[in-house]
Amino acid sequence: ILNVEQSPQSLHVQEGDSTNFTCSFPSSNFYALHWYRWETAKSPEALFVMTLNGDEKKKGRISATLNTKEGYSYLYIKGSQPEDSATYLCAFYSGSARQLTFGSGTQLTVLP
């Protein structure tokens, strides 16, 4: 069983604050790391697919970094807005398991 952990489990920040959270995953058999944004009552929305060690990807105010050697990825949100409130999921794709293994998510609440 692959272990994918996300921290913190939940987070409250004020509008305008920048924030970040972590996804840790096994450092062996790495193939890809997916980030999803999941708003209540909606479908999880793909944010990034990270594949190379040292990768950094950006989408508007959201960015992500990847360290496959030590097995972690950070997701950063700059200048958080209330519409950023959602659960952020990471999913590890290994070359051996050939399926996505999800973390339990970080629930972000941005207070106006």
Partner 1 sequence: GAVVSQHPSRVICKSGTSVKIECRSLDFQATTMFWYRQFPKQSLMLMATSNEGSKATYEQGVEKDKFLINHASLTLSTLTVTSAHPEDSSFYICSARDPKRRSSYNEQFFGPGTRLTVL
Q: What would you measure as the largest C-alpha separation in the chain, in angstroms? A: 44
State the nearest-atom distance from the C-beta of 101 to partner 1, in Å.
Answer: 8
State the nearest-atom distance from the C-beta of 40 to partner 1, in Å.
Answer: 10
Radius of gyration of the chain from Cα atoms?
A: 13
- Separation in Å, CA 80 to CA 14, 27, 33, 70: 7, 30, 23, 28
State the nearest-atom distance from the C-beta of 78 to partner 1, in Å.
Answer: 25
State the nearest-atom distance from the C-beta of 52 to partner 1, in Å.
Answer: 11
Q: Which of residues 82-101 bind partner 1 (CB under 8 A)?
A: 89, 91, 93, 98-101
Residue with tokens 């305008």: 16
**Residue with Cβ nearer partner 1 (80 or 93):** 93
**Of the candidates 50, 96, 95, 41, which has an alpha carbon nearest to the alpha carbon of residue 75?**
50
Q: Which of residues 18-57 bind partner 1 (CB under 8 A)?
A: 31-32, 34, 36, 41-44, 46, 49, 51
CA distance 23 to 92: 9
Residues engaged in binding partner 1 (CB under 8 A): 4, 9, 31-32, 34, 36, 41-44, 46, 49, 51, 89, 91, 93, 98-105
